[in-house]
Chain A
């Protein structure tokens, strides 16, 4: 069985002189919730459109469930569910009719799945209401319901929580987590709401100016975003030894510039400063620091040159 649900190899897409996607090597393992982060125009939607077969790459290739030839990719796409740049709905059809049209399209036998999916996304009460009369949040739910038809193994969701009210966001997050944990569905999700992505994703990809500048796991991200005490002293090596021997912790890092990142004792800064000064160390900088996903993202994309 292929470990990777999706891999892209040097995937590029050029529109006239604009390189929308540049040599992207993305990999998503089975069971991941992959958060796709990027500014407007960074290339997120173009990349998703290349994966879904809506656009053809200028260079490189897409590998879906281990398949990369054009005919195999078409077959592999039967195993995915998508929301691309908003939910794709027929406004004059009811919620149930929208699902029925997609059920027929995907060749799913039996009409039971329509009711089952409407119930799953909480739209069973409004099944006879036309999609054009839905709120944006309800449209998003219906879009997710359509993507879920046929029990896909891989969900590609481009901005699925746009327009949802806070309760809707919580419900959709819960639903996606449930689908991932209980049904083992792999999810690629792009969103501008980074705080929300941080609560959901297990892996992250940061795209900027068409380039995938970083891929990291939640563990790695948490480590990078972790709150810590930034300490700069006149003798970093001595300080490290003092912290280890006197404070009995190894949960710190000495950075190349000599600064120390201490991940413990965040609530007892006085104890640390007292310990360091008692050992004749001169404290030059001492402050609590740390990032959330938003600030980490802006730090990462800052300074990446435009092509």
Chain B
């Protein structure tokens, strides 16, 4: 397994889409807070306010959308380039191959998800001053949950990236799905009563509670942590099953 992980990590670090997305997010994180200097009416925000309103305000889209692009290039392109054929015939079981791929894709997705909390908060600290810093516990809790939900969504993306054999289709489908999924889930929860608790306790809904973590009680925090873990394991098993059955062309 370790050789597969090493190989996937090597490929992730050489992946152009990962490099471009990383640079893009770091650029946005560093440059975006500068816009606050144009906002002369209300003055500069504190780092804490900026973290809450801007960094955590857009993290759901970052977690769901940006790694979708990586999924297309890092996973699906292995099929279109034909490299999956040499991976599968290399003498490793398909289960190991899938979980190595999923692990490193999740690492990539987590890195991309954490770039804004890290660099945007860092840059805003430099720009707005060290007074009014966010509470360290809150900062670590939200960052930890962002990483956890990043991995959970990555495991869902990996399923579809395994089903498709064309990067464009994977990216298009995932972007479309994650942009629109909230609305049908909301309707489904309202119409089908037994699905309501399931949907309300899914990563699709709980991700919006990351920003409210300081207001949740112990049981709710436990659920917030448990659900993405279960999602990751379940999606991993489903994806591995699909990969096991998939004919590599």
A interface, CB within 8 angstroms of B: 49, 52-56, 71, 74-80, 82, 84-93, 97, 100-102, 104-107, 146
Q: Out of B3, B10, B81, which one reaches A91, CB within 8 Å?
A: B81
Within 8 A of A (CB), among B63-87: 81-87
B93 at the A interface (CB under 8 A): yes
Known: A101-B11, A105-B90. A88 touches B248 (CB 8 A): no
Known: A54-B247, A90-B83. A77 touches B11 (CB 8 A): no
Chain B residue with the shortest CB-CB distance to A108? B3
Least CB distance from A130 to B in Å reads 10
Chain B interface size, as a band, is 20 to 34
Interfacial chain B residues near A82, Cβ < 8 Å: 85-86, 89
Residue pair A89, B90 in contact (C-beta under 8 Å)? no
- Residue pairs across A and B with Cβ atoms less than 8 A apart, 16 shown, are A52-B85, A52-B88, A53-B88, A74-B91, A79-B91, A85-B82, A86-B82, A88-B81, A89-B81, A97-B10, A102-B90, A104-B3, A104-B7, A106-B3, A106-B90, A106-B91
**Alpha-carbon separation in the docked complex, A84 to B85 (Å):** 7
Chain B residue with the shortest CB-CB distance to A106? B90
Known: A105-B3, A105-B4. A100 touches B10 (CB 8 A): yes
Q: Out of A56, A80, A90, which one reaches B89, CB within 8 Å?
A: A80
Most buried by B among A53, A87, A91, A105: A105
Interfacial chain B residues near A79, Cβ < 8 Å: 91
Residue pair A92, B89 in contact (C-beta under 8 Å)? no
Chain B residue with the shortest CB-CB distance to A75? B91
Chain B residue with the shortest CB-CB distance to A56? B247
**Alpha-carbon separation in the docked complex, A306 to B89 (Å):** 31
Residue pair A77, B90 in contact (C-beta under 8 Å)? yes
Chain B residue with the shortest CB-CB distance to A103? B7
Residue pair A49, B81 in contact (C-beta under 8 Å)? no
Within 8 A of A (CB), among B83-127: 83-93
B169 at the A interface (CB under 8 A): no
Interface membership of chain B positions 1-38, coded 1 if the CB is closer than 8 angstroms to chain A and 0 otherwise: 01110110011001110000000000000000000000
